[in-house]
Structure 1
Amino acid sequence: MALRLLFKFFLSFAVALCYLHSTNAQGLKVGFYSKTCPDVEAIVQKTTASFISRAPSLSGPLLRMHFHDCFVRGCDGSVLLNSTKSNQAEKEAVPNQSLRGFQVIDAVKDAVEKECPGVVSCADIVALVARDVVSMVRGPHWKVPTGRRDGVVSRASEVNLPSPFLNITQLKASFSQKGLSVKDLVVLSGGHTIGIAHCPTFSNRIYNFTGKGDTDPTLDPNYITHLRIKCKQGDVTSFVQMDPGSSKIFDTDYYKLVSKRRGLFQSDAALLDDDETKVYIGLQINSAQPSFFNDFGESMVKMGNIGVLTGKAGEIRKKCAVIN
């Protein structure tokens, strides 16, 4: 009887181990390529650095590229695909037309393919590059779980990203739909500490907020004067730094701007309309040791898990802009 119970125990234990192994195999993990392409992260870092050292302004767009990828069809590299005669890809959607840095992703992919052909996905490269560009502009460095595979579908019509015009209720709903919390919302918004914004994304706030030629009352009037010098009415080509004077350095200055009513977007100003996000902003600007860097890495990992393709789903693209 005892032997029979012992056998059942070991059998159950073995089944549990097999199940655990299979579920881990289907998910992402740090060091996924440790045996198949052990130098992948070094290759990604070196190639990315060769661009950022010459053009640090690419750090913002490359970070944003990961966000834009993950919020549409999950983190599957679909934002990288080119349009075809029969399909308009995500790149063509208005929110993605300002994305830059595709040449960096292509160069990284080429370098990785030379070392490990057909092994590393474009989706993973986007995630690794996003981490590296943040680190290269004095931001945090976090461990990126890998193992994503590339999607084969990319449609402009499916692009529904959180816009810079959303209020706090809409922002919370948009992030919640992707499994992201209110804390993730305020933390990932902190990515606006690097990069630029084109005039049309905020011009309504400084010229015609309610359709009566007025300004947004939540925006600092002195900042409105400054922005009007940078962006004349109807200007669709000029741009401004999202974090003036610090747009090439990853730091907590973004939260200081928001607290002073100088957040550039309505979605930035909206962070003062919720108790949880407002408290977080206060903690980052008043603490001797802000938690933002650590929090940002955690939220990026969480975002990087949205709708991933793993196992045998999707493919490993040879070129990031076209399916195999």
Structure 2
Amino acid sequence: MRAIAVTFFLFCFVFPAALAQLKFGFYSRSCPHAESIVANVVAKHFRRDRSIAADLVRMHFHDCFVKGCDASLLIDPKPGRPSEKNAGPNASVDGYEIIDEAKKQLEAHCPHTVSCADVVTLATRDAVTLAGGLRYAVPTGRRDSLRSNPADVNLPGPTIPVTDAIQAFGAVGLNLFDMVTLVIGGHTIGVIHCSLIQDRIADPAMERTLNAKLRNQCRAPNDPTVFLDQRTSFKVDNGLCLEVLRQRGVLRIDQSLGLDGRTRGIIMSYAKDNALFNRKFAQALVKMGTRRFLSGRAGEIRKNCRVFNNGH
């Protein structure tokens, strides 16, 4: 309880403008059990498969980075009408069934009240907590987008140079510290296909034991996956920072953050203090979720997260 109270204070201090429109406990009267419903669904799936935490963190990032947290990523494509799901970077996003289940239960308890955008945001918080991260307060009150266009998707890739990453995050209102924290935090759990790390496998600077391990794993057919964080693969913690400082970053961007003079100090500070890393990761997630969003009468509250209410 104490940690939550401190985190709540920090978020109110850092994001006053955003919180003028979003609100902690937004559904306390209209749907008082909304957050517990989402948490219970996430916990049920996490007990079966811990990898869902990485799925939800990725979903949250892929949705929020493109025109804000508005559930535009969740729309299914139709013949003649592609959606963000058709964009190449989003092929790796999974976990939609968790959002569907939570939304179905919410509609049964509080019809047409809780947005899909808020479901994704809450589910991500719950997944991060279950995976060992900080339980942080989430401001809610977002509404769902009426647009989902693959042409809008311009996500930074795993080989992006640090300078380009700084520019890409800056373009959506996130600073250098946010970028490092979200990239490393987002990669502290989850996997990557071998086809996307060939540049790192070919890097003579990679620590020899890991390099040999990855070369062996990636010889398997059908483009297998490997863990992004080889130290604590299912836990949200500072393990990846420690790995990066030993030249054991699996992704090019992760390793680059540990080498670049603009970002190495941040990685080193997180490597020394897991509590600091968890606190900053939680703050960065909330900041990303409050930079751009729909509220008030904008957008809609979808009944089905995969389909606009007008059926189109």
- Tell me which of 165, 170, 191 is aligned to 2:186: 191
- The answer to whether 1:201 aligns with 2:196 is yes
Task: Tell me the amino acid that sits aligned with residue 40 of structure 2.
Answer: K
Task: Tell me the amino acid that sits aligned with residue 208 of structure 2.
Answer: P
Partner of residue 220, structure 1? 207
- Tell me which of 256, 259, 263 is aligned to 1:277: 263
1:96-245 aligned at under 5 Å gives the runs: 96-189=90-183, 190-206=185-201, 215-232=202-219, 237-245=223-231
Identity of aligned residues (%): 40
How many residue pairs were aligned?
292
Q: What per-residue deviation string (whole Å, max 9, x for no partner) do you get for residues 66-94 of structure 1?
A: 00001112110001000012221111111
Task: Tell me the amino acid that sits aligned with residue 145 of structure 2.
Answer: G
Partner of residue 12, structure 1? none
Shift of 1:280: 1.5
When residues 155 and 259 of structure 1 are mapped into structure 2, their CA distance, relative to the original with a 3 A threshold, is same
CA distance in 2, matches of 1:170, 1:217: 23
Shift of 1:168: 0.6
* 8 Å CA contact 2:231, 2:239 repeated in 1: no
Shift of 1:42: 0.6
* 8 Å CA contact 2:57, 2:128 repeated in 1: yes
Shift of 1:245: 4.8
- The answer to whether 1:307 aligns with 2:292 is yes
Partner of residue 8, structure 1? none
TM-score, structure 1 as length reference: 0.86
Q: Aligned with 1:305: secondary structure?
A: helix
Shift of 1:193: 1.2
Partner of residue 62, structure 1? 56
Q: Aligned with 1:197: secondary structure?
A: strand
CA distance in 2, matches of 1:101, 1:127: 13
TM-score, structure 2 as length reference: 0.89
Q: What per-residue deviation string (whole Å, max 9, x for no partner) do you get for residues 202-237 of structure 1?
A: 12332xxxxxxxx2244223322211111128x553
CA distance in 1, matches of 2:295, 2:42: 25
Task: Tell me the amino acid that sits aligned with residue 62 of structure 1.
Answer: L
CA distance in 1, matches of 2:130, 2:299: 31
When residues 107 and 82 of structure 1 are mapped into structure 2, their CA distance, relative to the original with a 3 A threshold, is same
Task: Tell me the amino acid that sits aligned with residue 259 of structure 1.
Answer: L
Q: Aligned with 1:283: secondary structure?
A: helix
* 8 Å CA contact 1:25, 1:311 repeated in 2: no
* 8 Å CA contact 2:230, 2:243 repeated in 1: no
* 8 Å CA contact 1:122, 1:317 repeated in 2: yes
When residues 315 and 322 of structure 1 are mapped into structure 2, their CA distance, relative to the original with a 3 A threshold, is same
Partner of residue 267, structure 1? 253
Q: Aligned with 1:225: secondary structure?
A: helix
CA distance in 2, matches of 1:229, 1:152: 46
- The answer to whether 1:30 aligns with 2:24 is yes
When residues 109 and 221 of structure 1 are mapped into structure 2, their CA distance, relative to the original with a 3 A threshold, is same
Q: What per-residue deviation string (whole Å, max 9, x for no partner) do you get for residues 69-125 of structure 1?
A: 011121100010000122211111111111111000000100111111000000000
Shift of 1:252: 1.0
CA distance in 2, matches of 1:173, 1:134: 27
Whose Rg is larger?
1
Q: Aligned with 1:74: secondary structure?
A: coil
Shift of 1:26: 6.6
Partner of residue 84, structure 1? 78
Shift of 1:297: 1.1
Q: What per-residue deviation string (whole Å, max 9, x for no partner) do you get for residues 218-275 of structure 1?
A: 4223322211111128x55310111125211111101011111111111111102433
Runs of 4+ in 1 over 4 A off after TM superposition: 23-26
When residues 294 and 163 of structure 1 are mapped into structure 2, their CA distance, relative to the original with a 3 A threshold, is same
